[in-house]
Amino acid sequence: MTWSHREYIALCAAEGVTLLRLEAHRKHCRLCFEAGFVTAPASPSDRRT
């Protein structure tokens, strides 16, 4: 598990949100919740060009 994945899990726990699963996809990861999902960068240096 990468640093950013641990940070997303800790953030969800701190906010009291139930994270069902975290899916890794190349440069992004998908945070899956009961109501849907959020796509987030897999690293802090992820930039769109």
For 12-45, write each residue's pLDDT tens digit. Answer: 999 999 999 999 988 899 999 999 999 998 877 6
Q: Is the model more confident about 27 or about 48?
A: 27
What per-residue confidence (pLDDT) applies to 42?
83
Q: Is the model more confident about 3 or about 13?
A: 13
Whether the Cβ atoms of residue 19 and residue 33 lie closer than 8 Å to each other: yes
pTM (two decimals): 0.77
Give the model's confidence band at 11: pLDDT under 50 very low, under 70 low, under 90 confident, else very high. very high
What is the DSSP pairing of strand 21-25 with strand 36-41?
Answer: unpaired
